[in-house]
């Protein structure tokens, strides 16, 4: 052996650094289609590491908050409490379950810092570790709150994030890919969010289009280097019909895109909209071994 040559283990260590790639998980949205099966069925697939229950689509501005789980159950009459056992079942498999607030249809806004404080208390008592006589998802304690803010006022979400983080729960967010996000930009800059599943769809300037990965990869680099967050996820439609644009064929994702974005230490995995479309299309099954 020549003098000054590196011992074999050290050589492998350097090679690993050069080709360094991080492992991730899949996050899924569940709740907006009655034909997508139960929460337990989704978790039993073994494909998902995070489930966002969607949506609490009415809150703030002094309104009585409302949960909407489409055809799954009727929150006011108490039929959604059956999902308490499902939530615990998912959590027993190590899956983190968050409540997603907001969504594309609803009535929500935060009129003041005081309003944000009230909403944080409501969320804590109704879905997290607090107590309330009215818990639409029963006594299961969710792991955190996901912000999918797409309408209404842009104000005060940073305060809601701060109040919720005081309860030591996980915070997720689903901004659109243009930076800064219109509704969540200020909140994200607090650095309080653990999981940021960026919607890389319906926005051609920062998404995959016509076989071209350039805009997507450039946007990913901006998100992972300029937005302070625990982990960043590549949010995608699980089928072409799940979004207006931005669907990526599974083979393109696994061969051209994941190998590039997994080099970022901020990479957390892939988020899919939604469980219904994933069930139809089998997208998570096609990509899971590469995520
Ligand atoms: C916050 O909650 C308190 C107590 O329920 C209530 O008196 C107050 O009007 C609420 N503030 C807002 C802005 O909704
Ligand atoms: C891909 O998109 C980028 C950015 O819009 C553009 O500069 C480039 O020419 C495109 N590549 C191809 C092969 O069309």
Q: What is the dihedral of CA 274, 279, 284, 286, to 10 degrees?
A: -140
Instruction: Give every CB contact of residue 167 below 8 A, 6+ residues apart in sequence.
Output: 120, 124, 128, 129
Domain membership of residue 134 (yes or no) is yes
**For the purposes of burial, counting CB atoms within 10 Å of the CB of 275, is it exposed (0-12), middle (13-18) or buried (19 or more)?**
buried
Domain membership of residue 12 (yes or no) is no
Residue nearest to atom 12 of ligand 1 (CA): 115
Domain membership of residue 10 (yes or no) is no
Q: Is 210 in the pocket of ligand 2 (CB under 6 A)?
A: no
Q: What is the dihedral of CA 67, 68, 74, 76, to 10 degrees?
A: 30
Three-class SS state of 240: helix
pTM recorded for the entire structure: 0.93
The per-residue pLDDT for 220 is 98
Residue nearest to atom 8 of ligand 2 (CA): 214
Q: How far apart are CA 251 and CA 228, in angstroms?
A: 30
Residue 118 Cα to ligand 1 middle (Å): 6
The structural domain count of the chain equals: 1
Domain membership of residue 197 (yes or no) is yes
Q: How far apart are CA 217 and CA 260, in angstroms?
A: 8
- Nearest ligand 2 atom to the CA of 210 is 14
Question: Kind of pairing, strands 66-67 and 25-30?
Answer: unpaired
Domain membership of residue 103 (yes or no) is yes
Please name which ligand lies nearest the alpha carbon of 205.
2
The per-residue pLDDT for 229 is 97
Residue 218 Cα to ligand 2 middle (Å): 11
The CB density around residue 35, as the number of other CB atoms within 10 Å, is 10
List residues bridging with 220 in a β-sheet. Answer: none
Q: What is the dihedral of CA 189, 195, 201, 205, to 10 degrees?
A: 30
The per-residue pLDDT for 18 is 52
- Residue-wise pLDDT for 132-179, tens only, equals 999 999 999 999 999 999 999 999 999 999 999 999 999 999 999 999
Q: How far apart are CA 291 and CA 289, in angstroms?
A: 6
Residue nearest to atom 12 of ligand 2 (CA): 212
Domain membership of residue 48 (yes or no) is yes
Q: Which residues of the chain have pLDDT under 70?
A: 1-19
The CB density around residue 158, as the number of other CB atoms within 10 Å, is 19
Domain membership of residue 14 (yes or no) is no
Instruction: Give every CB contact of residue 219 below 8 A, 6+ residues apart in sequence.
Output: 177, 179, 198, 200, 206, 207
The per-residue pLDDT for 20 is 80
What mean pLDDT is reported for the chain? 95
- Residue-wise pLDDT for 89-101, tens only, equals 999 999 999 999 9
Residue 213 Cα to ligand 1 middle (Å): 48
Comparing CA positions, the residue from 161, 177, 158 lying closest to residue 169 is: 161
* Pocket, ligand 1, Cβ cutoff 6 A: 62, 112, 114-115, 118
Give the domain range for residue 65: 21-287
CA 198 to chain centre: 8
Q: Is 215 in the pocket of ligand 2 (CB under 6 A)?
A: yes
150 in active site? yes
The per-residue pLDDT for 187 is 98
- CATH number for the domain spanning 44: value is 3.20.20.80
Domain membership of residue 11 (yes or no) is no
Residue 62 Cα to ligand 1 middle (Å): 7
| Sole residue written with tokens 């967050």 | 229
């Amino acid at each position: 052996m020549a003098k000054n040559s590196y011992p074999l283990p050290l050589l492998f260590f350097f090679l690993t650094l050069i080709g360094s790639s991080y492992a991730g998980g899949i996050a899924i949205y569940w709740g907006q289609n009655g034909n997508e099966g139960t929460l337990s069925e989704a978790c039993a697939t073994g494909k998902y590491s995070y489930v966002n229950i969607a949506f609490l689509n009415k809150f703030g501005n002094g309104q009585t908050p409302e949960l909407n789980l489409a055809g799954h159950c009727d929150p006011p009459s108490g039929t959604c409490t059956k999902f308490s056992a499902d939530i615990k079942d998912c959590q027993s498999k190590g899956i983190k379950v968050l409540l997603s607030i907001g969504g594309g249809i609803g009535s929500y806004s935060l009129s003041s810092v005081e309003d944000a404080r009230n909403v944080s208390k409501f969320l804590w008592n109704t879905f997290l570790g607090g107590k309330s006589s009215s818990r639409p998802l029963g006594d299961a304690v969710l792991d955190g709150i996901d912000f999918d803010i797409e309408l209404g006022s842009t104000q005060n979400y940073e305060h809601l994030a701060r109040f919720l983080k005081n309860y030591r729960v996980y915070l997720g967010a689903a901004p659109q890919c243009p930076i800064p996000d219109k509704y969540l930009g200020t909140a994200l800059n607090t650095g309080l969010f653990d999981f940021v599943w960026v919607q890389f769809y319906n926005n051609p300037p920062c998404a995959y289009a016509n076989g071209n990965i350039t805009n997507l990869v450039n946007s990913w680099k901006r998100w992972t280097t300029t937005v302070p967050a625990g982990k960043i996820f590549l949010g995608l439609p699980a089928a072409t019909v799940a979004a207006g644009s931005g669907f990526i064929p599974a083979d393109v994702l696994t061969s051209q895109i994941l190998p590039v974005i997994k080099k970022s230490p901020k990479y957390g995995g892939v988020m899919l909209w939604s469980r219904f479309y994933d069930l139809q299309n089998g997208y998570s099954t096609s990509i899971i071994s590469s995520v």
